[in-house]
Chain A
């Protein structure tokens, strides 16, 4: 009855931003990014891929409360780039990776379809 609407899991509210940065004043080169209407799907991949950057010395995320579709990603770098740059970099790399995956998949699938088409044709003979 008072259950939250399911679309609150993925629809940004009015004026809500997908992602915002809050620099950590107590630690050098570190920021906490708050993501809205996202979950582990995005959080974990960003965390894991930020850690692949040798200039990122910390990357971790938490979901503060299970009923709210938001997560916080903490990033600390060694200072040669800002956490924001590291994060944007990671995102771009991932978009590129996904694009390669898409292309590879299309290639493989078309090939497969050709093979299957040939097999079906010979079977029907």
Chain B
């Protein structure tokens, strides 16, 4: 307890970010003042739990191409669809409709028939998006090539035809990779391998045989004969996030952060639920019982009695929450502390 204040002094002011490169479909950044678990959880959410749109249901009216129905269906599913402001779309499973409707899906139709002698290619641009949808972006096939064609779906010979109705739904990559917002997330730390988290295989010398990461120049190389630092932990994380094109790279990061926050909020909500009862039992009191929503999503940190009261009294339990727990300063100003926070998307 005595050393707590010192620890607190050394506590950095929360995560810091430096963007090192950005293009329309990628962003590279370094993340600092966070630990490995934090950086890794962010990476994992970005990879697998950021919602996007993808074709999920295909009603085939005609397919006389050489490809089997399920083959084409699979290819359709993998076409990246614009997912800007996908929060406007609800999950089909949460929707009140029978199977799908304009609140929870976007309909794309595909009708192609080859009439000429030349082999015809059917592209993503041939998908016709139904204007009945939640916003003007959602469901548009992502087309980035200079010719404006998009991905090839199928090739047709004279007389062959494709006629199908595709239903795009909201989902996450944990269910199927077609909903992934990223094609790759680069994640790297300790490029000099000072921490020895990697054991490099070599014939004569690891230094000679292994190429250095481009981030190696950004960190001090180990000194000759430097003793191993057993207390060292990874501190700087190099991210390289590459979008599939359905979401802008910054939106992917922001959504990832949001998803992670929602996970944590769900835990707070479940555990703080019975707070009303525990109040009396163990004497630590929240001032008033709060509705689950209140505790999980809102005020808790903005209003701040949440943790200052029960743990702040005397036992010096202030952990890193100090920077914002102490007052409403950094918080009150954000959309966060004030009202609904992330629930209705920023």
Contact = CB atoms under 8 A, between A and B. Distances in A.
A18 interface: yes
How many B residues are at the interface, by size bracket?
35 or more
Interface string A1-31: 0000011011100000111110000000000
A49 to B, nearest CB: 7
Contacts of A46: 267
B14 interface: yes
A26 to B, nearest CB: 20
A105 B254 contact: yes
Given A97-B15, A101-B14, A92 B37 contact: no
Contact of B175 (A7, A44, A81, A106): A7
Interface in B8-58: 13-19, 22, 27, 29, 31, 34-38, 40-42, 44-45, 48-49
A104 to B, nearest CB: 5
Q: A19, A92, A102, A112 — which one has the most chain B CB atoms within 10 A of its CB? A: A92
A74 interface: no
A100 B17 CA distance: 10
Contacts of A109: 19, 22, 27, 250
Given A88-B272, A101-B14, A102-B254, A93 B37 contact: no
Contact of B317 (A21, A80, A91): A80
B319 A52 contact: yes
B317 A99 contact: no
B196 interface: no
B93 interface: yes
Given A9-B174, A89-B307, A91-B264, A100 B15 contact: yes
A52 B4 CA distance: 11
A40 B14 CA distance: 22
B311 interface: yes
- The A contact surface, by secondary structure, is helix
B21 to A, nearest CB: 9
Contacts of A80: 315, 317
Contacts, number: 176
B268 A92 contact: yes
B221 interface: no
Q: A38, A48, A109 — which one has the most chain B CB atoms within 10 A of its CB? A: A109
A11 B93 contact: yes
Contacts of A94: 38, 260, 264
A20 B274 CA distance: 11
A10 B266 CA distance: 13
Contact of A19 (B42, B250, B270, B278): B270
A95 B334 CA distance: 13
B268 A88 contact: yes
B17 A108 contact: yes
A48 B36 contact: yes
Interface of B: 1, 4, 7, 13-19, 22, 27, 29, 31, 34-38, 40-42, 44-45, 48-49, 93, 172, 174-176, 250, 253-254, 257-258, 260-261, 263-272, 278, 282, 284, 300-301, 306-307, 310-311, 315, 317, 319-321, 323-325, 330-331, 334, 336
23 contacts: A6-B175, A17-B270, A18-B270, A19-B266, A21-B271, A41-B263, A42-B263, A44-B37, A45-B38, A52-B320, A81-B284, A82-B284, A87-B267, A87-B271, A88-B268, A88-B272, A97-B15, A97-B320, A100-B330, A101-B14, A104-B17, A105-B29, A111-B19
